[in-house]
Amino acid sequence: MSWFPDRMTEAGPTEMDEGVRLERRSLLKASAGALALLSLGWPQRALAQEPAVDDDADLAWDALAAAALPLAEKLVRAKKPREEVYLARLAALVHRLKLPGDRDSLAVKRPIVVAQFKLEPGRGFPWHDHRDYNGLILCVAGEARVRSADILGGNPRPPKGRTFQLRETADVRLTAGRASGLTRTRDNVHDVRGAGRDGARLLDFFTFFDAGGRSVSMTVADKPRDPEQRVYEATFVE
Ligand SMILES: [Fe+2]
């Protein structure tokens, strides 16, 4: 069963699974402010050259969308995409975001897709990969546990049912204001759950190198085969 984007057809709110709620997600329709910013073109060029990462003022959603979009477009067009640089710049913008009101849509264009989730404690997105897209998760409220891993062995997409090895690279607790990122080649696999007493509200920024980008779930052994190296056995479910 793949999580994304197959199961995110609605704009939200939608119960995606028990304890997993899609609260809202970016729609192709852009708000008047974003359209004006996007169509003007100037701010994009100015921001694209040196996005205001050195400025720490709050950013309204439209300004963030206008600053992030040229970075994302440049990234997915690049011959040698510098994903870490991109994620660091995106994170610098996202950390300044003044979260729009509950009713406001998260207007942004592809290759960026944004979704807001509410995860109950212990519930969320079990181990899965990210094919042809990268991601940045911002914890908006509550607490989330994010375990990240790399697939070992050189083949990032072993066929269904074939056992392969994961190396866990991080097991973090995200609280409000903290973020966790992944690229197509670094920490591309993770397990995201609500934690603590109230679970978590997360804002997920996905950037697609290919419109067909998606995630595939895997089963991962509970116990590591190499505790010291944090290596686990896993298999893809499709
Ligand atoms: Fe994910």
Query: H helices then E strands: how many in the chain?
Result: 4, 10
What's the 190 CA to ligand 1 centre distance in angstroms?
6
Instruction: Give yes or no for residue 54 having a pLDDT over 60.
Output: no
What's the 2 CA to ligand 1 centre distance in angstroms?
10
What's the 191 CA to ligand 1 centre distance in angstroms?
7
What's the 134 CA to ligand 1 centre distance in angstroms?
9
pLDDT in tens, 164-199: 999 999 999 999 999 999 999 999 999 999 999 999
What's the 200 CA to ligand 1 centre distance in angstroms?
15
Write down the pLDDT at residue 17.
83
What's the 26 CA to ligand 1 centre distance in angstroms?
16
Write down the pLDDT at residue 37.
45
Give the mean pLDDT of the chain.
Answer: 86
What's the 129 CA to ligand 1 centre distance in angstroms?
7
Sign of the alpha-carbon dihedral angle for 81, 179, 49, 70: positive
- Give the Cα separation of 68 and 86 in Å (integer): 9
**Amino acid letter for position 109:** K
Question: For residue 159, what pLDDT band results from cuts at 50, 70 and 90?
Answer: very high
What's the 216 CA to ligand 1 centre distance in angstroms?
9
Mark residue 83 as left, alpha or beta (left: phi above 0; alpha: psi -120 to 50; beta: remaining).
alpha
Write down the pLDDT at residue 4.
53
Buried b (16+ CB within 10 A) or exposed e, 159-186: eeeeebbbbbeeeeebeeeebbbbbbee
* Domains present along the chain, CATH in parentheses: 6-236 (2.60.120.10)
Q: Assess whether the previous peptide bond of 5 is cis (omega < 30° from 0).
A: yes
What mean pLDDT comes out for the span 89-108?
A: 84
Burial (CB count within 10 angstroms: exposed 0-12, middle 13-18, buried 19+), residue 157: exposed
What's the 125 CA to ligand 1 centre distance in angstroms?
7
20: part of which helix (H) or strand (E)?
A: strand 20-25
Instruction: Give yes or no for residue 200 having a pLDDT over 70.
Output: yes
Contact 92, 47 (CB under 8 A): no
pTM of the shown model: 0.85
Instruction: Give yes or no for residue 27 having a pLDDT over 90.
Output: no
